[in-house]
Structure 1
Amino acid sequence: MVALHCDGSLSAYRAAYGGIIHHATGDPILAYVGKGVETSVLSMELLAIHRGVALCLERDLQRVSIRSDSKLAVDIITGAVSCPWSVYVLKCQISSLLTQLTHLEVRHVWREPNQPADFVASIDNGDGETIIYPPDFPEDLMRLIHNDTDRKTYFRIP
């Protein structure tokens, strides 16, 4: 099974999505980042999931654990909550892709373990989408991946 960590990013200047796909061992397969056109963080979170699943299928990776720090996006994908009309088409496109997987897991993860995906989503790649392979990963991204692989412990302060 591969893990797909995905994240959306929204600032005053840019809407973007990104993610990282890695083996169960933690070894990265690829990262992706793209510029969005919607000004909704939920749209960017769902677009990150959509593109990540599509990239998995293109590479014949059919056993996927989707991990997102957006509880709302996870709840929409799993059907735990109703989907807002503004993202209904995107949700339907994701659902269609998910039927092509042989094994699926959708999990909400805290922001800290999702830092590599957050880092990727914040890369300014201009317009369009960029796929980045491990030899070209920035050093800061590799550090975050190693923290994840080493199961770094994070403490949340209430």
Structure 2
Amino acid sequence: MMFSFTSFSRCQRLVNNPILTLIRNLHKEPIPVTWEKPEIGWTKLNFDGSCKGRAGKGSIGGIFRNHKAEFVLGYAESIGKTNSTIAELAALRRGLDLALENGWNDVWLEGDAKTLVDIIVEKRQVRCAEVQRHISDIISIIPEFDHCIVTHTYREGNRAADKLAQLGHQSEKPQIWIHIPPHQVLQIMHDDAEGKPVFRRR
């Protein structure tokens, strides 16, 4: 049967109907997202990059915690004009450097940029030379650890790192916190340690 343009347009209006979209979304159950503690002896890094405004002002942040969900170290830094992809990679690279400096050999790296996490885990090549340079640096550093895993979490499971990346926008110089976290992440850390879920809409 021939499908006319008029029929196609009518179907498109039906598909794009905001009321139907709302009804479909209401029927989708939200996903509970929780932060997971690392194993004993492991240190977990949650990292995040942020990019704001037309000028593309970038910042990075990250937080290290142990198997008890205790704060070990955090960092935040403004990195100037960039894009969100480079900011994410810079956040991870900074975290890797800090992990090596502190002698942590068993490290769990977790971020909310799924595509980048997949590229790093699968050691894939990308077309952008600048992005590939950052990825290659990261991939070359990871074998320096005794054990290292890289995983993706939803944004709701990465809230502490996101908060630190936001603090980076406000920082005139790089910030590092050791043992005592900034007060802006205390409630998030408490919720994470308790395993409190944050519900993500599908």
TM over 0.5: yes
Cα displacement (A) at 1:136:
4.9
Q: TM (normalized to structure 2)?
A: 0.73
Cα displacement (A) at 1:11:
0.4
Query: The residue matched to 1:46 in structure 2 has which SS?
Result: helix
Match of 2:94 among 26, 34, 51: 51
Name 2:163's counterpart in structure 1: 119
Query: The residue matched to 2:149 in structure 1 has which SS?
Result: strand
Contact 1:38 1:44 in 2 (8 A): no
Distance 1:66 1:21 in 2: 9
Residue 104 of structure 2 aligns to which amino acid in structure 1?
L
Contact 2:123 2:139 in 1 (8 A): no
In terms of mean alpha carbon deviation, does 80-89 or 48-57 score higher? 80-89
Distance 2:180 2:152 in 1: 29
- Name the Cα RMSD after superposition: 1.5
In terms of mean alpha carbon deviation, does 57-66 or 76-85 score higher? 76-85
Output aligned runs, 1:100-111, within 5 Å. Answer: 100-111=144-155
Q: TM (normalized to structure 1)?
A: 0.92
In terms of mean alpha carbon deviation, does 43-52 or 91-100 score higher? 91-100
Residue 178 of structure 2 aligns to which amino acid in structure 1?
Y
Q: Which structure has the bigger radius of gyration?
A: 2
Distance 2:97 2:136 in 1: 13
Deviations 1:95-145 (A, max 9, x none): 12111010011000010110000000001111x42101243521x311101
In terms of mean alpha carbon deviation, does 77-86 or 66-75 score higher? 77-86
Name 2:112's counterpart in structure 1: 69
Distance 2:175 2:76 in 1: 5
Name 1:24's counterpart in structure 2: 67
Contact 2:71 2:179 in 1 (8 A): yes
Q: How many residues align?
A: 156
Distance 1:133 1:147 in 2: 20
Query: The residue matched to 1:135 in structure 2 has which SS?
Result: coil
In terms of mean alpha carbon deviation, does 112-121 or 28-37 score higher? 28-37
